[in-house]
Amino acid sequence: MIRICSTEDLPKGTVVSADVDGTPVALVHAEDDAFYAVYDECSHAAVALSEGEVEGCTLECWLHGSRFDLRTGQPTGLPATEPVPVYPVEVRDGDIYVSLTPSNGVTR
Taking CB under 6 A as the rule, does residue 100 contact ligand FES? no
- HSE of 18, CA atoms in CB hemisphere, 13 A: 24
Of the candidate residues 4, 38, 42, 84, the single one contacting ligand FES (CB under 6 A): 42
Which lies closer to ligand FES via its Cβ, residue 17 or residue 101?
17
Residue whose C-alpha is closest to residue 13's, from 44, 47, 58, 48 = 58
Q: Are 71 and 56 in contact (CB under 8 A)?
A: no
Taking CB under 6 A as the rule, does residue 63 contact ligand FES? yes
Q: How far apart are alpha carbons 64 and 90 in whole angstroms?
A: 31
Taking CB under 6 A as the rule, does residue 47 contact ligand FES? yes
Which lies closer to ligand FES via its Cβ, residue 66 or residue 96?
66
Q: Are 48 and 86 in contact (CB under 8 A)?
A: no
Find the part of the chain contacting ligand FES (CB under 6 A) among 13-21, 30-38, 42-50, 98-106: 42-50
Strands 89-92, 86-87: parallel, antiparallel or unpaired by DSSP?
A: unpaired
Find the part of the chain contacting ligand FES (CB under 6 A) among 1-9, 30-38, 43-51, 90-98: 43-51
Of the candidate residues 64, 76, 95, 104, the single one contacting ligand FES (CB under 6 A): 64
